[in-house]
Each structure stands twice: as structure tokens, then as C-alpha cells.
Amino acid sequence: MVGGGPGAFIGVVHRMAAALDGEFELIAGAFASRPERSREQGRALGLDAGRVYGTWREMAEAEAALGEDRRIEAVSIVTPNHLHHPVAATFLNAGIPVICDKPMTTTLADADDLCDTVERTGLTFALTHNYTGYPMVKEARHLVRSGRLGTVRKVVAEYPQGWLSTRLEETGHKQASWRQDPDRAGGSSAVGDIGSHAHNLVCYVTDLEIDAVFADLSAQVPGRVMEDDAGVLVRFVSGARGVVMASQVSTGEENGLALRVYGDRGGLIWRQECPDRLHLLFPDAARQTLTRGSPWLSAAARHATRLPPGHPEGFIEAFANIYRSAGRKIGAAIAGVEADPLDRDFPDHVDGARGMRFIESVLKSDARERWVGMGGDP
Amino acid sequence: MVGGGPGAFIGVVHRMAAALDGEFELIAGAFASRPERSREQGRALGLDAGRVYGTWREMAEAEAALGEDRRIEAVSIVTPNHLHHPVAATFLNAGIPVICDKPMTTTLADADDLCDTVERTGLTFALTHNYTGYPMVKEARHLVRSGRLGTVRKVVAEYPQGWLSTRLEETGHKQASWRQDPDRAGGSSAVGDIGSHAHNLVCYVTDLEIDAVFADLSAQVPGRVMEDDAGVLVRFVSGARGVVMASQVSTGEENGLALRVYGDRGGLIWRQECPDRLHLLFPDAARQTLTRGSPWLSAAARHATRLPPGHPEGFIEAFANIYRSAGRKIGAAIAGVEADPLDRDFPDHVDGARGMRFIESVLKSDARERWVGMGGDP
Amino acid sequence: MVGGGPGAFIGVVHRMAAALDGEFELIAGAFASRPERSREQGRALGLDAGRVYGTWREMAEAEAALGEDRRIEAVSIVTPNHLHHPVAATFLNAGIPVICDKPMTTTLADADDLCDTVERTGLTFALTHNYTGYPMVKEARHLVRSGRLGTVRKVVAEYPQGWLSTRLEETGHKQASWRQDPDRAGGSSAVGDIGSHAHNLVCYVTDLEIDAVFADLSAQVPGRVMEDDAGVLVRFVSGARGVVMASQVSTGEENGLALRVYGDRGGLIWRQECPDRLHLLFPDAARQTLTRGSPWLSAAARHATRLPPGHPEGFIEAFANIYRSAGRKIGAAIAGVEADPLDRDFPDHVDGARGMRFIESVLKSDARERWVGMGGDP
Amino acid sequence: MVGGGPGAFIGVVHRMAAALDGEFELIAGAFASRPERSREQGRALGLDAGRVYGTWREMAEAEAALGEDRRIEAVSIVTPNHLHHPVAATFLNAGIPVICDKPMTTTLADADDLCDTVERTGLTFALTHNYTGYPMVKEARHLVRSGRLGTVRKVVAEYPQGWLSTRLEETGHKQASWRQDPDRAGGSSAVGDIGSHAHNLVCYVTDLEIDAVFADLSAQVPGRVMEDDAGVLVRFVSGARGVVMASQVSTGEENGLALRVYGDRGGLIWRQECPDRLHLLFPDAARQTLTRGSPWLSAAARHATRLPPGHPEGFIEAFANIYRSAGRKIGAAIAGVEADPLDRDFPDHVDGARGMRFIESVLKSDARERWVGMGGDP
């Protein structure tokens, strides 16, 4: 991994995502621009110190020099935007596949150059436009491709956020700072950071090609250099029309990415904050709500699903909270220290026995057709 | 891990949950009642064959015989209900902490016995009443404890499911079969399987003690032995009243666990299928919706949170889908084989360059105040 | 109309409902228990003073004495519960059809007696269990009757309110006072006032006959005489089970009547606070949401519908606000007085011209493919 | 009333809205472009034949000629758009106040001319931009004006409909025909019909002045003359930005008018299809949902409210369904004919007695702490 040092947000997400299915194990990294910070993070992650590097250039060279059976099989790039291009190109040229956070680069010229490198090396390059990883987004694409909506006429993609409604970048906030710094973020803030997700979602779901755009960007927060609000009208080659909105000053909004697609036979609505549901609209029948995990969904949606319907994907995280706390309490016991009080909060045998008392009382009440006390058998 | 063989549902969830934070690594298991199935699963998980056992008794003995620095630090029990008691007791007595799926046992007497064992050994015993692991459930408990709702008067806990609305247990469906088999599930189906979650949630959030219950259980599906529907009236010691509903024949419902708590100063509503939100009601002010990840939540809720507001916890899984597919494609390339077409579905350099073209076109349109074609500079 | 004097809530609703379709015109009344209050209300409603009576007995006698072509064609009874029986019986015996607020009487014996009177006189008796008047409730009944849900197994009807979470009846609050006064409300508060609606809704939609009930009533507010919370388990003759909840102390709830019906082929959910939608659940297909006004609904639902889909029925009230304010401003102008500032809030010619300027600017921008100022043609 | 003949939609709404509060009584009309259709409608409405006119010109002359105490006090204009201007001007010049459906005219020049007429005559002119009649829209305006959201930066108004996603205008559909006929609708379809509502809503709620617009209009349905889809970018004089969308080809959408306003201190969201709720978002506190009827709302919102919270405004219509059916059954009985079966669907004495039996059984079960049969006292 390159990037993802102490305090970074997206690096942690990449690491959890990589761990979830056991496809990847993290074994090397250059986690920060300052070598000592990189080593600090490597220690925190329990890595072999010999595989924690001070710089990404050093890492690329050293890993490439290792034999094929020892070196990393892929690198994950989670740096600020301006480093995506040089880091990715360097690792690709060293023969190592790349998983890279978006946007791919900070300029179109760099992106074209990187495309050439990928084509030339023939290596895998994955870009974490993560919203297309949702099962119901895959279902949406399937529905459009299968003709269920007919010919697409109108697409609305919006991405309202409110976190930059103050000059957070002036407060030392790490993520706000680089996103509002043209040198590190590239020429755009709202469009580059979130508008690019909205655009990618439109392309992924509809397969439509954009003919032309008309845009109005503005910095709504006084004193801000880069745009924090964008409205874009879109003309597709097919004649369909679209609207793409991206805003970092929609005060109080969290991460409201949403997509609406209307064809001549039906429409669909997907909202990222409620990702397990896909709404279908028809001119001549009741609205439908498809839920993640349903056996009648497409192969692509089912392939991307780990849990049955009604178990929101955060279900895993709720489970993981119990495992994390229990693991820490067990670890503390082994180490002979006290566990953090916050990590004692998991159900234990007392809860279990209380539950069994409830079940037995319920069975007894039903059998006797009367109230049954929970204090024991009367 | 004991249980969690091929085709099991909850074993997979336990494994993903354990992997998420890097607190646990799976190194040993007795995964199925038939030894060859256990070994098959061990191979699939890439475990050392010497740590994959034919039976859980064999595993407990062998692991206990290993030195403290080599043996497992905890065991996860994900078998049908009737094995929870003997397996847990055996491992505890062997000095190994336990993480056990719920319900704890199949009878209250067994539960009391297991409590004694836990107390005697002094080891950690965690029961995966996973719904209490949700951050907003922790917030709900915090709000009740802090007096925000005042004195609790009324509690409604409901758990409608529809998956047993046909005699699924007659079709060879593994999970339905043992849940409708009194020998393996214990004396209760709906109450034991899901009513126990609703009960646990009530206890966790309100801290109220139940005085007495009145229950009406029925098997709604013709020919079924165990109850598939339960209505329970509850009287709390404090004088508050409650209703607990559990149903496996609420046709079309997925996993509709929900809790409502009303005090004399306010009420709260939480729904498991939309777990990131907690609704608060007041007699004299606007309704509020608390969202997971907000900085103003309690320490317990924040401690249980991995992602910022607006990023539903399934966000990790969406990310993981990209990692999984990319990992498989990379693996296939190394192995010189074709990747599954379903695993070629992740964003790549072409998507990245297309995104950069969009961003640059948008910037250009805004600057020139006219439509800009996506095909290149005119 | 009998009842509905100054300060009454439900009398106003009855008058608006009667006016909406032009089927009724209000021409006589005994509006309050004190004759001078009755006459005050009659004046406020612009009635002929000769048709405003001091008591309902006087009204029944006088109206009966008028010829068939002059007397009222029906009486609307909107008094506290204890008067429903004597007033209804008296008018029926005088040959006048009755529209009566619910519950019908305060005891079952009185209800049986009133049934005899209705049967004997052969006159129309309508009871305003108004929730069955919603189009989507009629659709729900249609769906159950048509077999779309299969055999009904489970019914959950709930009616949480929070308005009596304090001792409002001690504050002089008119409606709270009589509802918590056994002499005027009958033997029950929560069950009589709102549980009876939930019960009626169950009967109306499912046509199921109740075999037996088990109930737990309590007064949760200290010092209160009548119950303010009720949990009721229901066994239907068919073997289906039900839960009916009614609560006036669900703090912060407004008027949360909801019905869920699950059969062996599907389920339905209807919530009164979002009355235009009916949700259908299936074991083997996507969820559906039926919306009021859709042409594919049943004849009964369409018959009860005045507006097309997407126009919530409050649409009429929003329209009426403009008419009311305009009417009052016109009336004030005729009378040569100032209209209430709150009644000057309706769109006028200035809004109209501003709208036309917007439309023309939009057309011009589209035609010229550039920004067009709203200040006029540049 | 001018317009609102047989088969018209909006005329019926205007008549119900006018009747609701008793401020208006319909006494005269020119209901259709063909005199015999006008007279047919007059008969259906029970009007005095002498006040039903063949043309609106005739009506204006005749009514003006009546004395002040006999002639209509206001005229309601519900014709296709192209008649708004001449009809309104004629009645105003005849000294009669006007309530006119929107848009005001078909050209800005006509609108300016009509403004002059209104100013000159000093008479009331109300334009039924009905969405501003909703109580929660009035609350939204109050919140913006009171500074609760701070300085407004971003406004999104959208109005998706799907009813014109086929060439409905070719099928003889009355409303579709004139809306897609430039001679009767004016130069615009989507913008004139619904975009004008969205624009009016923006103006009403925010008080912002528009500086310039950039628009992209298209006819998405093949063969259609006028635009059925519009995307408009808006620059306000204050520097705030906006997006206005209007679409008649958003297949499956019903009447999805929605407004979002974001200031530097908070944001608000209102959706017409759920009009009783207004959502508030803050950067540093929980989201709030304001509900119509709450006592803590502004005077303007409370003034526009007829019912308490939790009683959706369709509550009146549900009530009215009972009144309408009972009225028709009573009328049929008087006339000695059978009522339409659909009008026998209202609760009667049998429902009432059944309800009383339920209440008494519930009270008995609670008192005896056992199941109580509904068949009578055992």
C-alpha cells in the first residue's frame, strides 16, 4: 500500500475491504510522505519492518528486486490525487498490478499517459470507483442493459455533501486541505472528488456516451479558491439528456449520491445512503422495490452479495464489533491488563441465560394460557 | 471455529466479522459433523491440515494440549443450537475463551450450568447477539440511560420474517431443517431463533427487568411441529408494558427487527433494515433523526463506528467487491488462466481516463460559458 | 348536526367532509350542551336562527314536526360518546337517518339496542370509522378478498398516539377531559377511542371473525383513572393470530395507525400517516408500492378517489388555502376593511408576471445556447 | 367559474377547494367552449339556468350588468392557458376580482399587460400556484426568512412527471392535447406547465432574485413538437446557484415536485408527494423533521392548517367518502331507488356493535387475566 498513513480515512477502508474476503494480505507499504510516519504506521499494522519503506520510489524498486514469489502481487494506491499518476506508472513499469483510488490522475493528459502504460504492460489496473461495487448498482446496470427501462431519455445524477460548508481546509483538517489545494487535488474540487463518482455511476449504469456538457461551477464559501458547487447539463450522443450535480456546500447533507434513470418503458432510482434498495417505476404498473440478496436478481448482483436480504451489509460490521471487543478483552486477559471499558460492551453468558429464561417463560405461558413470572417457576 | 462448514450461512459471517479489524486470524476448526466435510472446508479456507479436526471434541483436546503460545486464543461456535452447550463447556474447561452464536443453549437449565462454568473458569464468553453491535443501538441505550426519554412506559419489539412461510424444512434446506427440529433447535423456533434477539434488544437498550409474560404461540404453516409465530405481552417490574412479536410467516418480510421505546419525555424508533438511523420523538419539539458517525453521538456509538456519516456500513463491502474481483483477476493472470467474467467487473484505466475527460470538459465549459463536446477540443 | 360547538375538533372535520362533494348542506343544529353556546355556533355558521336549537331533544322534535320536504334529511352526531346512543335512537325514531361518530355507544348492551332500532326503522345509520374511507384501505380489502395474499395467517394493527402522555385532562383540555371521564367516554379510553379504530380496520380489510382476545390494559400516567395503553392478543376463528396495540402514551407519536396483514401468498402494509401508499410483499418477487389514483386499482379504490396519483389528498386543502385567503381579501375589500395579513399570502399577478419572465428567459437560453439574464433582453 | 366543463380535472379541484371552508358558493359559470356543454355542466352542478352562460364574454357582460349585491363577487378561471389573459382582463375591467389558474398568460407581454390591468382596477387577482398553499411550504419560507438556514447558497427545484412519456396528445386525451398545442399552451410545455411551479416555489420560499438562466430543452418523445424535458441552471443575484428541472417524460414518476435549499447554517428538503413533512439538516446537530400541525410552527403554517398533526390532509377526503356514500344512500332511499353498490361501502350499526363487543371483551380479558371469547360471556 502506498499512502494510508496515520489519520487517513480512505486507507483504512481499503485495508478493511481487502481483508474481508481473504483475497489479499497486507505485507508491504510506504504509508506517508515522511519516512518516520510511514514506519509508525507499519508498526501499528504489525508488518515486517523490512517491508515498510520510507518512500514509494524506494518501495517500488525494492519490491521489484524481490523474486516473483516474494514480492507483492499488487499495490494499492491511496495517496492524494497528484501522486496517483507517478506512483501507478512506476509500479506498473516495475511489473506490479495496481489498485488505485480515484480520480485516476489530475489531468486528462496524465490519464491518457497512464492508459498507455496499462495497455503496454498488460497488467491489471483497478480504480476504486467504489459505488459501482454495490450489488444494487450492478442490478441497475443489468436492468438498463436488459431493456427493462427501454430507451433511456433522461438521467439525473446528484452528489450533495455538506462537509465543506465552512472553510475546513483552514483548520488543518487533513482531507479538506489537500482537496482544496490545486497542487495536490488537481484543477477541481467538487467535480474531481465527487462529481467524478456521479459521472462514473452514469456511465456504468447506462452505457451512454456523453456528447457535450455545459457547466456552472462556483466557490460558495467566501475566500475559497476551488469550486465547491457544480451544476452540469449533459447531452448524450443518443439524444438523451442529463443533469449532474455535485456540491460540497449542501449543508447538512452527508454523502447523498443518487442516480435516476428514465427510459421510455420505465425508470429507476438508487440512493447510496440506502444502498440495498433499487426502486423501479413503470407507466402502467405498481412501483417495485428490489432488495439486495433476493434470489431473483441478476448474476452480477448476486455475485457481489455476501448476505441474505434484510441483513444490511453493515450487519457484518455489527458482528465485527462483538468480535473486536471480545478479541480485545481476551487479549487484555492474556496480557494481564484491563480491557478498555468500551470493549467490555458485548453480550455474554448472563445475557444468554436471561434469554433462555425468557424463552422458557414464553413457552410456559403459551402452554398454560396465563401470565408467567420471569422470577422462576411459581 | 466449530461449525461453519460448506453451505452454512452464519459461519461465513463470523469469519468475515473476525477478519475485518485484524483482531483475529482463523487457524483451526472442526467445521462439520462429518469429518470429511470438515476437512473439505479447512482446505477451502487454506488452513494447515494439522489444525483441521474431524470433531469438536478432538479439536478441544488437541488444542488444549498445545502450548499456550501455539494453541488458539479463542474458539468461535457456530453450530446448531443443541451443540452450543456441550461445545462451549468443553472448550471453557480446556481453558479456551468462547465466542458463541445465540441462543446460548436450548434450555434454561443448560444456560444456568454454562453460566456456572463461565464464572468458575473466569474466561471470556461472548454471545453474538449481533444486533446490539450496531452503533445506533448503542446510541439508543445511551439515550435511555442518560434520561433523555424519561421513565420508560412502553416498549414494542418486533421481529417479522417471512422465510418460513412455506415448509422449507421439508425441502432439504439446511438452516430451515435444524431450526424446525426440536432436537437441534430446542423447544422453540420463532421465539428461540428471533424472539430471543428481540428480547435481548429490549434488555440491552432499556435495562428494564421483566416481571411476567403472557404468550400466544402457533404453528401457522399446516403440518409444522414447532411454532412459527409468537405474540407476547410483557409486564416489566417498573410497571411499564411491552409487546414482543416474532414471526417467521410474515410473508415477504425479510429481517424486520425493530424496536420502539416510549418514556414520559420522549420516544425512540430503530429499524434493523435501516440500521444507521435512530429516530427520536418528543412531545414538544420536532422529530430528530440521528445518523451513525455523527460526531455528537455517545462514546459507545462512536467506538463502534468505522466510517463517517452517509457512508452506509455496506460501503466496505462495495469496496471489497472491487478488491475481490481485482484480486481474482490478478491471481488468474499469475496462474495463466482466464478470470471469471463476473470478476472482470471493476473500474479500470479506461473508466479513469473517461472520468478525467469529463472533469476537464466541465472545467472548460464553465470557463467558456458554452457547451463543450466530450470528443476533444474543438 | 348535534355537537360540534365552539372549540370542538371532530365537528369541524365532519362539516368540511360533508361540504366537499356538495352532497350535504348544513341547515340545522344543536351544537352544544349549553343553549347559548349552541346559538353562538349557529350564528358563526350562518344558519337560520330558527333552525338552531338549544338541545338535541328539542331539535329532534321540531325537525320531525316539519314536513318531509323541509326537515333535515339526515343528522350528524358528533357529541361525546355517552350521548351517541340516546341521540341516535331519538332521531331514528323520529324518522331521520343518522351519521354518527364512533364508537357507536359506551356499552355493548346499548349498541345491541341501537342495532334493533336501526333494523326496525329501516333507516340509514353510518358510523364514521373514517379510516376505512381511505382509497388504499379499500384497495387493501380488495386485495385480501381477491385472494392476492392467500389465506391470512397474521394481522398486526397498531395505533400509537402520544397526546395523553401528560395528564392533559387536568388542564381543562376539552377533548382530553371527556375521553378520560368514564361517565362520558364509557368504560375505556385507549381501546374505546383508538383501539376501536384499529379493530374496525382489521375487520374491514380482512373479513376475519375474532374468536377470543387476551388483553393487558394499564394507566401509565400516574394518577390517571382510565387505561391509556393496551396490548391485545387476538385469535381468529380461522386459526390466524393477531396483535392489536393502542396507546395514548407513546410519547411523540402523532396518529400512527398502521395495519399489516400476512397471508400464505403475500403480505400488505398500510400506514395512515402516509395514506396514499399501500405496500405489498411477496415471497418470490419484488416488493410493490401501490399509489392512490393509479388506473389499475380496484373499482372501490377508484370510486373513493378525487385526484390523480402524486397529488396527495391534502392537495385540495392547499388549493383551498388560496381560495380562503383570496375570498377573505375580496370580502374585506367589499366591506372596506383591511384583510388579515395572513390572508394576503396567496400568489398574485406579480408572481404571474415573474413566472412568465422565467419561462421566456428559459426558452431564449435554450434557443441561443447561452446564459440569458432575467432583467430583460440584452 | 370560466372553464371546468365535463371531463376537466383542475376545475373540479377548484370547486372542491372553494367549497371546503364555506368562503365561496358557486352561482354562475361559462364552463365550456361549446354552449351546450356549458349548460350540461351547469345542470350537473345544480345551478340556476339563468346564471349558466354559453360564453365567457356573455357571462362577463351579464354579471357586470347585475347589481353589486346580486352579481358574482369573484370569478375563477380554469381554462387552457391561452384564455387566461383575455378572460381575466375582461372580468377585471367589468369590476370582478379574479382567481386564475397558472401560468398567468402565454407570453410575458400579456402578463405585463394583465399586471397593468390589475394595478389599474385595484381588484384582487389570485393565481393558483397551489403548491405555495401547503402549510409546510409556508413553514419553509418562514425558516429561510428567519435566518435559520443562514445565507442561501444552493437551491435545487425539481418537477419530474411521467404522464407524457408516450404521445398521449395523439389519443384524444383532453389535458395532454392542449398542453402540447402551442396555440393553447403557449410556447412551452414542460417549463410552462410544471417548471413554472418549480420556479414559483423557489421564489416563494427563498425570496431570491434570479440573475440569469442557462437552459437545455428537448422533446424526448419522437414526433413531439413542444419540449417535454428541461434542465435549467440558475444564477441568483446574490451569487447563489440553482438547478431547476422539469420533465414530463420521467417515466413512472407521478407528481414529484421537490425543493431543496441549502444555506451556510442549514438546509431544508420538502417533497410534494409527502407534503406534511419538512426536513431540516444542520452541520452540527441531528436532522429534524417538522410535521404539519405542530404547535411550534410559524403563524403562517398554522394559519394554513385545518387538522392536527398525524392526520394527513387527505383525512378530510376519507371522511368525505363516508359522507358522500351515506348521502347518496339516503338520497336513493328518499327517491325510492337502489343506491350504487359502491356507495353502500360505509361503516354502519353492525360495525358499531361489533366494535362495542370488542371493547367489552378486551376490558373483561384484562380484568380476569384470561382469554375471553368474542361470542359472548362464557
Q: Which chains border D (3 or more CB–CB pairs < 8 Å)?
A: A, B, C
CA atoms within 13 A on the CB side of D64: 14
Residue C238, chain B, CB below 8 Å: the answer is: no
Closest-CA residue of B relative to A115 is B349
B306: which chain A residues are within 8 Å (Cβ-Cβ)? 12, 16, 317
Distance CA C51, CA C38 (A): 11
pLDDT at C171: 86
Sheet order of strands, B125-127 included: B2-3, B75-78, B98-100, B125-127
Q: Return residues 101-120 of C near A (CB < 8 Å).
A: none
Are C316 and D16 inside 8 Å of each other by CB? Answer: yes
Are A291 and C288 inside 8 Å of each other by CB? Answer: no
A110: which chain B residues are within 8 Å (Cβ-Cβ)? 356
Per-residue model confidence as pLDDT tens digits over B280-309: 999 999 999 999 889 999 998 888 887 878
Residue B5, chain C, CB below 8 Å: the answer is: no
Are B235 and A371 inside 8 Å of each other by CB? Answer: yes
C-alpha cell at A271: 440512493
Q: Which residues, given as ranges, of chain C have pLDDT below 70?
A: 313-315, 318-319, 376-378
Write b or e for each residue in A14-49: b if 16 or more Cβ atoms lie within 10 A of its Cβ, otherwise e.
bbbbbbbbebbebbbbbbbeeeeebbbbbeebebee
Distance CA D160, CA D158 (A): 6
Write b or e for each residue in B294-321: b if 16 or more Cβ atoms lie within 10 A of its Cβ, otherwise e.
beebbebbbbbbbbbbbbbbbbbbbbbb
Residue C368, chain A, CB below 8 Å: the answer is: no
Distance CA D237, CA D189 (A): 27
Of B284, B286, B294, the CB nearest to D288: B286
Are C196 and D355 inside 8 Å of each other by CB? Answer: yes
- The full DSSP string for A196-224 is HHHHHHHHHHH-PPEEEEEEEEE--STT-
| Average of per-residue pLDDT across A143-151 | 97
C198: which chain B residues are within 8 Å (Cβ-Cβ)? none
Q: Which chains border C (3 or more CB–CB pairs < 8 Å)?
A: A, B, D
Are B286 and D291 inside 8 Å of each other by CB? Answer: yes
Residue C369, chain B, CB below 8 Å: the answer is: yes
Are A291 and C296 inside 8 Å of each other by CB? Answer: no
- The full DSSP string for D70-126 is TS-S-EEEES-GGGHHHHHHHHHHTT--EEEPSSS-SSHHHHHHHHHHHHHHT--EE
CB A257 within 8 A of CB A140: no
Of C284, C287, C291, the CB nearest to A289: C287
| Average of per-residue pLDDT across A132-141 | 90
Q: Which chains border A (3 or more CB–CB pairs < 8 Å)?
A: B, C, D
CA distance C58 to chain A (A): 52
Work out how many CB contacts closer than 8 A connect B with D: 30
CA distance A273 to chain D (A): 15
Are D291 and B296 inside 8 Å of each other by CB? Answer: no
Distance CA A149, CA D20 (A): 42
Are D285 and B291 inside 8 Å of each other by CB? Answer: no
Per-residue model confidence as pLDDT tens digits over C131-189: 888 889 999 999 999 999 999 999 999 999 999 999 988 888 877 887 778 887 777 88
C-alpha cell at C65: 314536526
pLDDT at C315: 67
For cell 331507488, the residue is D337
> Could you give the dihedral angle defined by the CA atoms of residues B118, B124, B127 and B131, in that order, rounded to the nearest 10 degrees?
140
What are the residues facing D155 on neighbouring strands? D242, D261
A314 pLDDT band, cuts 50/70/90, is low
Residue D374, chain C, CB below 8 Å: the answer is: yes
Are B289 and D286 inside 8 Å of each other by CB? Answer: yes
Residue D131, chain C, CB below 8 Å: the answer is: yes
How many residues are recorded in chain A? 378
Q: Return residues 287-316 of D near A (CB < 8 Å).
A: 287
Are C319 and D17 inside 8 Å of each other by CB? Answer: yes
Residue B349, chain C, CB below 8 Å: the answer is: no
Among A329-338, B167-176, C115-124, D321-330, the range scoring the smallest mean pLDDT is: D321-330
Under DSSP, the state recorded for D340 is P
Distance CA D338, CA C338 (A): 51
D291: which chain B residues are within 8 Å (Cβ-Cβ)? 286-287
H/E stretch holding C76 reads strand C75-78
Q: What average pLDDT does the structure give for chain A?
A: 88
pLDDT at B378: 43
CB B193 within 8 A of CB B249: no
Of B241, B253, B262, the CB nearest to C251: B262
Site from B25, B73, B136, B349 to mutate, A interface, most A CB atoms within 10 angstroms:
B349
Q: Return residues 164-183 of B near A (CB < 8 Å).
A: none
Are A254 and B217 inside 8 Å of each other by CB? Answer: no
Per-residue model confidence as pLDDT tens digits over B124-158: 888 888 888 888 999 999 999 999 999 999 999 99
Write b or e for each residue in C39-63: b if 16 or more Cβ atoms lie within 10 A of its Cβ, otherwise e.
bbbbeebebeeebbbbebeebbebb
Residue A251, chain D, CB below 8 Å: the answer is: yes
C289: which chain A residues are within 8 Å (Cβ-Cβ)? 286-289
Site from D10, D124, D158, D189 to mutate, C interface, most C CB atoms within 10 angstroms:
D124
Are D372 and C214 inside 8 Å of each other by CB? Answer: yes
Are D243 and A231 inside 8 Å of each other by CB? Answer: yes
pLDDT at D266: 97
* pLDDT exceeds cutoff 70 at A176: yes
Are A289 and C284 inside 8 Å of each other by CB? Answer: no
Are B374 and A133 inside 8 Å of each other by CB? Answer: no
Closest-CA residue of C relative to D111 is C353
Q: Which of B145, B236, B282 is closest to C166 using CA atoms?
A: B282
Residue B154, chain C, CB below 8 Å: the answer is: yes
Of C284, C285, C288, the CB nearest to A287: C288
Q: Which chains border B (3 or more CB–CB pairs < 8 Å)?
A: A, C, D
Residue B286, chain D, CB below 8 Å: the answer is: yes
| Average of per-residue pLDDT across A34-47 | 93
| Residuewise pLDDT in 10s, chain D (378 residues) | 999 998 777 888 888 888 888 778 899 999 998 999 999 999 999 899 999 999 999 999 999 999 888 999 889 999 988 999 999 999 999 999 998 888 888 888 898 999 999 999 988 888 888 888 888 999 999 999 999 999 999 999 999 999 999 998 888 887 788 777 888 777 788 988 899 889 989 999 999 999 999 999 999 999 998 999 999 999 999 999 999 999 999 999 999 999 999 999 999 999 999 999 999 999 999 999 999 889 999 998 888 887 878 777 666 776 677 777 777 877 788 888 888 887 877 777 777 777 777 778 887 888 888 888 777 544
Residue C229, CA distances (Å) to B365, C162, C179, C219, C246 in order = 63, 10, 13, 6, 6
B353's torsion region: left (phi>0), alpha (psi -120 to 50) or beta? alpha
